[in-house]
Structure 1
C-alpha cells in the first residue's frame, strides 16, 4: 500500500502560534474564550495544564487571563473583557485580524458588509461584531435569493476557511446586487493551498482520508472536496475512528488534515495504516521518501534546533534527526542580517521544516514564518504605543512614496508626507526619515506591509521649534515677517516658525486704515513684539510701532492757539473729527462748530470739507486734541 500525505496537512501557522501562546501562558486563572481551536484533543490537553474553556464572559474575574481563540472575537467582546478587568492574551489568527480591520473601516465608510461564510462559525460571528452585527451572511448561492437586489455600496469578505470555488461563484453573483462593490478575497493562502492539494491528491488515490474535528469548518470542506474527486473518502477525527477494513486492498491511500489537526494525530493514523502494510512511500512531497522509523518529522512542523556550525550563507543545526538541519541565509530572516552576528554556537532556535532532504541529504529549515508573526506583533505594538521608527525613502509611486523599514515594505501617503516642494523630495531619497505607523497589513502573498505617516513627527518638530523660538523672544523685539492671513479682528504674520497676531488697533496709527486694503497676503512687514504667552505658544505684535508715532510729529509742529488746516473725516453725535496730520485727528465739539444752534454736525459740515479750526486744548497724556471753528 502506498500512502501519500499532503504536505499542507495539519496545523497552519496561525493555529500553531495560537497553541504556542496558550501553552506558554502561566498563572492561576487562565481560560480560553471558547475552544482555542476546533480540536478536542488539544482542548483536553490545555485543560490538563489548568487552562479551561470559558463560554460566558460574565463568569470571568478581574486579573483572569483570557486567551482569545484563533477564530477571533467581536469588538464588543474585546471591550467587555477589558471592562471586567481581565488580561487579554490575543491568539487571533493574523488573517482574521486583517478581516476585522477591513470590516470596521469599510463599515465606518458607509458600506454594507457581506460575509461569505457559515453564520454559525465563531470566526464569522466575530467578524460580524466589527460592523455592529449588521452584516449579511451568505453561505450558499441559494442564500442570494433572500437579500435585497439593490444594496447600494457593499463590501464583501470571506471566512478564511471558505471553499474557494464557492467564493468565486457567490462573489461573481453579488456584483449584480450593488452600484459600488469592494471585494476582498480573505480566504487565507494556507486554506487555498490545502484545498488545491486536496483536489490534486484525491484524484490520484483509491481512498482519501481527511483527519479533522467534525465541527471544524476547514476540515469539513476538505472532506467535501475529496468526496467530489475520489470514489471513497473517509472523514475521521483520529486513529480510533479509522476502520482498516475500509482501506484494505487499496493500492494508494491519500491523507490530508484540517488546520486544527495536530501532527501527532496524523502520525497515529499513518502508523495504524502501516499495520496493514509496510509503508512504501510516505511523503509530504511527492518525490521524497520519509523514514518515520527514525524520527517523526514532517514539512511544516515547528521543531527546536541547536546551532552547531555557522558560515556566511548557512547555519547548521542539530535537530535530533538522522541528518542535520540547514538554515539558508535567504530563509533565516525577513530582514537583512549577518548570520554570524545573529546566531551563536549552542544557541537553540524554533525552526520550521520546509524540506526533508536537500541535495546533500540535509533537512532544509526556515525562520521566515516564525519571525513574520513575531514581526507582526512587534509592529502592532509599535503602532499602538505611537513609537517613532526610521524608514528609508526609496521612490515616488502613485499616491505617495515607497519606503523600507528593516527590509519591510512601507507606504508613505503623499497626504501624510509633509513634503510640500519637489526639491525637498529629491533631497530625501535614499535617506532615513522618522515616521509613525498608521497601519500594519498582512498581504495575500504573506508579505508584510506598513502604512506610515510623518504628520505627527513634523508636528512635534514644529512645536519644538516654536517653543525654542518663543523662549528666545523678548518684549519690544523687532522682527521681519510675512502676512499670512486676515481675520475680522486683525492680521496673522508668519515670523520664523510661529504666527504672530497683530490686532487691528496695532496695524496702523491711522485708525481709518483697513488692513485688507493696506496690505496683501505674503507681503513682507516689520513687527514689534507686544505680548508673549509661553505656555500657550501665543505671541502678539504691532506693525504701527515700527513706524514713527504721528503724535510726536504733531506736538513738535503745533501748540495750543495754533490754527490748522484739516479735512473733516468723521461725525459723531457730539461733534466732528478733523485730520490734522496723518494719524492724528482733532475733535470739534458740536458747541464749537458754529455760534448758531444745530442738531447735528452734518447740519453745518460735510465729510471731506477742508476747514481751519483753532487748537483750543491738547491732552498730552491721553493724546487728544480739541478744536474750535468759533473765532
Structure 2
C-alpha cells in the first residue's frame, strides 16, 4: 500500500492550459496516446494533431517520439485531453510576433484564398494582404495567384484579435529605398553624368540618374530654357550638390 501511494504521489498533475511534453506510445485512427508522466496516458484526438491538413499521421508522428502539446480538458475518467494543434498555433504566433518585433518584419507564405479587398496568405498563421498593398495591377485576375508564395512585410499585428496585415508594397518600396540610398552615396559632387529628362516645369527640368533624380534649375542651363528639352531626352549633367539629409541633387546642364 505504501509502495502504491509512493507511485501515486510521484505521478505528475497538470492544469487546463498547461503546455506539456510527452512520448508517443500509441497511434490509431482515433488519435494518439502520450505518456506525460501522469496516472493515465494522455490522449490527443486526431483533429487536434496539427493546425495544418494531415493526410497521414505517420508522416509527422512515430512511436517513441517526444512531442509538445497543450492540455485542453480533463474527461470524465480523469484522462488529460491534449492538443498539438493548439500548441503549434501558439508556437507559430510566437514566431510571427518575434518577426513583428524585429527590424525587418519580413515573412513569406502561400496565397490560399481571394477575399473581398485582398488575399489570405498562410504565413504559419492566417494573414491578410490587402489588394492595395499587393503590388499587383488592380485589373489582374487575382485568382491566378492562389497557390503562389509571396514575401511581404508585416504592417499590422494584433495577436489577441488574431489580426495580421502584410504588405508587398511596403517591402518592395523599402528595398528600392535601400538601393536608392546606396546609389545616392556613390554620386560625387563636381563629376559629370549622363541622365534622362524625366520632367519639365517653368523653373527647370528634372533629370533621372537611374534610381535617383535631380533638378537642373533654369539658372544652370546656360543659354537653354526648359521649353527646349523633351522628356526622355538624354543629356549630360554635372552634380553641383548632394544633399543626403533631404535626399536631393542639384544639377547643372553640360551642353
TM-score by structure 2 length? 0.66
In structure 2, what is the equivalent of residue 334 of structure 1?
51
CA apart distance, 1:524: 1.1
Contact 1:493 1:502 in 2 (8 A): yes
Q: SS of the counterpart of 1:389?
A: strand
- 2:130: which partner in 1? 413
How far off is 1:450 after superposition? Answer: 1.1
CA distance in 2, matches of 1:449, 1:381: 15
Residue of structure 2 in register with 1:509 after alignment: 223
The 8 Å contact of residues 353 and 365 in structure 1, kept in 2 or not, is answered as yes
Aligned to 2:64, what secondary structure does the other structure show?
A: coil
Aligned twin of 1:431: 149
Q: Secondary structure at the match of 2:192?
A: coil
Task: Report matched runs for 1:163-242 at 5 Å.
Answer: none
SS in 2 for 1:316: strand
**Alpha-carbon deviations, 1:489-530, whole Å to 9, x = none?**
4332344322222212244623xx3x3x5567xx21223231
Q: Aligned partners of 1:494, 1:396: CA distance in 2, in Å? A: 38
Please state whether the residue corresponding to 2:233 is helix, strand or coil: strand
Name which structure has the greater RCO, CA cutoff 8 Å, separation 6+.
Answer: 2
Q: Find 1:539's aligned residue among 233, 249, 252.
A: 249
> 1-side partners of 2:100 and 2:118: how far apart?
20
2:158 aligned with 1:440, yes or no?
A: yes
Residues of 2 paired with 1:471 and 1:413: CA distance? 34
- Confirm or deny that 1:306 pairs with 2:19: no
Matches within 5 A, 1:610-625: none
Distance 1:435 1:417 in 2: 11
Is this contact kept in 2: 1:394–1:402, CA < 8 A?
Answer: yes
CA distance in 2, matches of 1:427, 1:492: 39
Structure 1 position 461, deviation (Å): 0.8
Are 1:460 and 2:158 matched, yes or no? no
1:476 is matched with which residue: 192, 205, 211? 192
Q: Superposed, which structure 2 residues align to 1:528-567 within 5 Å?
A: 528-531=236-239, 533=242, 535-536=244-245, 537-542=247-252, 544-545=253-254, 547=255
Structure 2 CA distance for aligned equivalents of residues 426 and 499 of structure 1: 37
Equivalent residues of 1:307, 1:343 under 8 A apart: no
Q: TM-score scaled to structure 1, two decimals?
A: 0.31
CA–CA distance in structure 2, aligned partners of residues 466 and 427 of structure 1 = 32
How many angstroms does 1:318 deviate by? 1.4
CA shift for structure 1 position 344: 8.2
The structure richer in strand per residue is 2
Contact kept in structure 1, 2:100 and 2:157, CA below 8 Å: yes
Verify the 8 A CA contact 2:157 2:164 in the aligned structure 1.
yes
Q: Which residue pairs with 1:398 in the alignment?
A: 116
2:110·2:150 contact (CA, 8 Å) conserved in 1?
yes
- Please list every run of 5 or more consecutive structure 2 residues that lacks an aligned counterpart in the other structure: 1-10
Are residues 1:500 and 2:214 paired? yes
* Per-residue deviation, 1:410: 0.9
Quote how far apart the aligned CAs of 1:389 are. Answer: 1.6
Contact residue 24 and residue 62 of structure 2 kept, 8 A: no
> Separation in 1 of the partners of 2:182 and 2:216?
21
Shift of 1:476: 1.8
- Residue 411 of structure 1: CA displacement? 1.0
Cα displacement string for residues 193-252 of structure 1 (whole angstroms, at most 9, x for unaligned residues): xxxxxxxxxxxxxxxxxxxxxxxxxxxxxxxxxxxxxxxxxxxxxxxxxxxxxxxxxxxx
Q: Is the 8 A contact 1:500 1:541 kept in 2?
A: yes
1:365 shift after superposition: 2.3
SS at match of 1:307: strand
Relative to structure 1, the CA distance from residue 330 to residue 534 in structure 2 (aligned partners, 3 Å threshold; closer, same or farther) is farther
Provide Cα deviations, 1:332-379, integer angstroms capped at 9, x if missing partner. Answer: 34356887668883636343245738xxxx864213344444544443
CA contact (8 A) 2:74 2:81 kept: yes
Q: RMSD across aligned C-alpha pairs, in angstroms?
A: 4.4
Secondary structure class of the residue paired with 2:178:
helix
Are positions 1:351 and 2:65 aligned together?
A: no
Q: Deviations over 1:585-616 (max 9, x none)?
A: xxxxxxxxxxxxxxxxxxxxxxxxxxxxxxxx
The 2-side partners of 1:477 and 1:426 are apart by 45
Structure 1 residue 433: Cα displacement: 1.3
User: 1:219-368 maps to which residues of 2 (within 5 A)?
Assistant: 300=16, 302=18, 304=20, 306-309=22-25, 315-320=32-37, 324-328=41-45, 330-335=47-52, 345=64, 347=66, 349-354=68-73, 356=75, 364-368=81-85
Q: Tell whether the 8 Å contact from 1:440 to 1:449 is kept in structure 2 after alignment.
A: yes
Match of 1:525 in 2: 233
- Whether the aligned pair in 2 keeps the contact of 1:499 and 1:539 (CA below 8 Å) is yes
The structure with more helix, counted as a fraction of residues: 1
